[in-house]
């Protein structure tokens, strides 16, 4: 379809044009995307208004969505030549790279009309209807509500919408620059001649932020770009917004040359504190993909806004030190904290998994995680104490703790439970998936209809996973059935119900296209799942094998009646080869979690 470009500018004037073109780099990473370092980038990368998700910063990329480069045109001669020869091109305002950090790039008509698209995959240039929807939703003084609060020569805006329109100016078709500080001029697509049409917001004078649509037959100037898309999910919001994205840095292993493969688990305590466990492992052994190290945890006392300095989980460190003294230089028998729960009476239980020994133990804290017991065997009656691997498959329902464990690499999966708040455990059922080679990645919950559902990763099957259901609280189980997930899922992690939704997240398989990324699914009943969205699809990742995506979650706010419940997701994300950092995402504004106004 032919493209038509409109401009949002901040004043009404007739702009004589002499020839212009503009292009931007299109990198899938939000870091490159917005031209800012991840560590100082706001988590608000997008806003959603009337069902449309808008970027809140101008595009700042130098290639199309398929990776093909867009030519930079610096001199007036280069800019004019690109326009006349039909060459996609981009420019910084005044050819100063620092302007890209502030205002993004200016793109010519040929870049904007190119079928490869300057906006990343899944995003597009807005059309007239998109702008009209935005203006109608914002109502009176929409322009002032869209304008940034700083940067304008006159009449800074309110930015109450969060749109953050910035006065990045324009590059005329003759290569001259104009209007920085006075005009926010944003490209718009349409059905007429590519590059024609403009829409102005005023930065000063009588309009003071109003809109004035105006169509031109030239469309030859270099423009800023804001991309838009229909919101890909509904009923909740995600922080950082604009997924997929690099997430919020929680443990920066890159800065210390370490890794954090395996060992992510979280629990909210009855006093409202959050404990977040993770692995501090070697960045050298198998390029960071082994559990060669120990467990640490951080504490948040303010609902996840801030976190304490790391605390070493001492038993885990002791096991690692013993292995070193014995000359064991791999991950075998190292103890990682692989699951954690808070019992109904306030006991905190941390489960440790011993790599290579096919056993797990647990530790109890009676004082909110400040001190821990010595390890206890989950199944004291087992002569070999082979209780298997517990991989984040523990949860509390009413007063009972349920724990799923894989007694071997390919099963069987067994169910343990405790009715005395973790002081002792018993086995309730054995081999939930008889005859099936289930890997040790599994998850489960008791649904609000009383059904107990368990999902398990089927060895070497990326397209489907298995599911069983119990109607009698885990004593007997249905025959295993195959369940398909649109974007696949490995090492699945299911949440408790938050508001109106259950959530499932994990790695989008391990082979084939789009493998290895962090994917999120939602369901209203825990049985039928949507098509999923990527939280991370390689953003901020320097690795050929995807994002790693060993993850965990916890519902936050369950003990505070004055705060709506939210879901915190923690995941390993590659930074080099198979070395990983630990990142966070928040699921917020979940339908059904609204606080009563009474």
C-alpha angle 266/270/276, rounded to 5°?
20
- Domain boundary among the residues 230, 259, 290 is at 230
Q: Given the structure tokens 């305002």, which residue do they identify?
A: 93
In a domain, 559, yes or no: yes
pLDDT per residue over 334-375, tens digit each?
A: 889 999 999 999 999 999 988 777 788 999 999 999 999 999
pLDDT per residue over 96-134, tens digit each?
A: 999 998 899 999 989 988 999 999 888 998 887 888 888
Band (pLDDT 50/70/90 cuts) for residue 213 is very low
Same domain, 172 and 264: no
The CATH number that applies at residue 442 is 2.120.10.10
Residue 579, sorted as left (phi over 0), alpha (psi -120 to 50) or beta, turns out to be: beta
In a domain, 13, yes or no: no
What's the pTM value of the predicted model, to 2 decimals? 0.81
Same domain, 443 and 321: yes
Same domain, 244 and 225: no
In a domain, 398, yes or no: yes
In a domain, 110, yes or no: yes
- Domain boundary among the residues 169, 198, 230 is at 230
Same domain, 436 and 463: yes
Band (pLDDT 50/70/90 cuts) for residue 191 is very low
pLDDT per residue over 50-95, tens digit each?
A: 989 999 999 999 999 999 999 999 999 999 999 999 999 999 999 9
Sorted by sequence, the CB contacts under 8 Å of residue 139 that are 6+ apart come out as: none
In a domain, 17, yes or no: no
In a domain, 549, yes or no: yes
Proportion of the chain in helix, strand, coil states, percent, rounded to 5: 10, 35, 55
Same domain, 182 and 88: yes
Domain hosting residue 90, numbered range: 30-230
E strand segments, 333-399: 335-342, 348-354, 359-365, 376-377, 394-397
Q: Three-class SS string for 105-149?
A: CEECHHHHHCCCCCCCCCCECCEHHHHHHHHHHHCCCHHHHHECC
In a domain, 23, yes or no: no
C-alpha–C-alpha distance, residues 270 and 199, integer Å: 54
Q: Note whether 250 and 129 are within 8 A (CB).
A: no
Name the nearest CA neighbour of 445 among 487, 413, 403: 403
Q: Note whether 598 and 573 are within 8 A (CB).
A: no
Q: What pLDDT sits at residue 121?
A: 86
State the burial class of residue 328 (Cβ atoms within 10 Å of its Cβ: 0-12, 13-18, 19+).
Answer: middle
- Domain boundary among the residues 199, 230, 261 is at 230
- Inform me whether the pLDDT recorded for 212 exceeds 70: no
In a domain, 465, yes or no: yes
Domain count, the chain: 2
């Amino acid at each position: 379809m032919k493209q038509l470009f409109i401009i949002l500018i901040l004043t009404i004037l007739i702009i004589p044009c002499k020839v212009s073109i503009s292009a931007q780099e299109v990198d899938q990473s939000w870091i490159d995307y917005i031209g800012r370092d991840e560590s100082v980038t706001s988590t608000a990368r997008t806003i959603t208004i009337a069902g449309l998700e808008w970027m809140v910063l101008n595009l700042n990329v130098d290639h199309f969505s398929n990776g093909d480069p867009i030519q930079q045109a610096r001199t007036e001669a280069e800019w004019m030549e690109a326009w006349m020869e039909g060459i996609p091109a981009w420019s910084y305002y005044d050819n100063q790279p620092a302007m890209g950090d502030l205002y993004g790039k200016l793109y010519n008509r040929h870049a904007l009309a190119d079928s490869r698209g300057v906006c990343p995959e899944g995003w597009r240039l807005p059309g007239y209807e998109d702008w009209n929807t935005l203006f109608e939703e914002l109502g009176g003084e929409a322009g002032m509500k869209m304008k940034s609060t700083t940067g304008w020569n006159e009449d800074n805006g309110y930015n109450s919408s969060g749109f953050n329109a910035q006065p990045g100016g324009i590059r005329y078709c003759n290569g001259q620059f104009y209007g920085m500080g006075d005009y926010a001029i944003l490209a718009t697509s349409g059905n007429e001649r590519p590059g024609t049409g403009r829409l102005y917001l005023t930065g000063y004078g009588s309009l003071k932020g109003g809109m004035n649509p105006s169509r031109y037959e030239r469309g030859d100037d270099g423009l800023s770009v804001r991309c838009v898309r229909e919101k890909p999910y509904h009923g909740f919001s995600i922080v950082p917004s604009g997924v997929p994205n690099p997430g919020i840095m929680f443990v920066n292993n890159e800065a210390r040359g370490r890794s954090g493969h395996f060992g992510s688990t979280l629990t909210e305590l009855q006093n409202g504190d959050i404990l977040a466990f993770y692995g501090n492992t070697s960045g050298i052994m198998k390029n960071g993909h082994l559990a060669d190290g120990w467990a640490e945890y951080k504490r948040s006392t303010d609902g996840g806004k801030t976190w304490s300095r790391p605390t070493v989980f001492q038993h885990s460190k002791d096991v690692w030190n013993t292995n070193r003294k014995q000359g064991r230089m791999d991950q075998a028998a190292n103890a990682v904290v692989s699951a954690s729960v808070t019992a109904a009476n306030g006991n905190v239980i941390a489960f440790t998994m011993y790599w290579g020994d096919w056993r797990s133990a647990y530790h109890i804290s009676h004082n909110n995680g400040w001190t821990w017991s010595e390890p206890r065997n989950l199944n004291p009656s087992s002569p070999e104490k082979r209780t298997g691997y517990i991989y984040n498959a523990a949860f509390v329902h009413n007063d009972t703790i349920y724990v799923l464990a894989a007694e071997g690499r390919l099963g069987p999966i067994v169910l343990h439970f405790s009715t005395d708040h973790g002081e002792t455990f018993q086995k309730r059922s054995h081999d939930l998936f008889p005859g099936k080679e289930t890997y040790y990645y599994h998850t489960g919950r008791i649904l609000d209809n009383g059904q107990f559902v368990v999902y398990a990763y089927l060895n070497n099957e990326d397209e489907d996973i298995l599911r069983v259901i119990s109607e009698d609280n885990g004593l007997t189980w249905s025959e295993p059935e195959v369940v398909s997930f649109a974007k696949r899922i490995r090492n699945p992690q299911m949440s408790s119900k938050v508001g109106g939704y259950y959530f499932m997240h994990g790695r989008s398989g391990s082979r084939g296209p789009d493998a290895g990324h962090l994917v999120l699914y939602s369901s209203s009943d825990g049985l039928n799942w949507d098509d999923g969205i990527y939280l991370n699809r390689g953003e901020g990742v320097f690795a050929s094998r995807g994002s790693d995506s060993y993850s965990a979650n916890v519902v936050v706010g369950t003990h505070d009646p004055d705060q709506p419940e939210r879901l915190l997701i923690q995941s390993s994300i590659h930074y080099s080869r198979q070395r990983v950092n630990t990142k966070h995402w928040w699921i917020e504004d979940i339908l059904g979690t609204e606080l009563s106004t009474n």
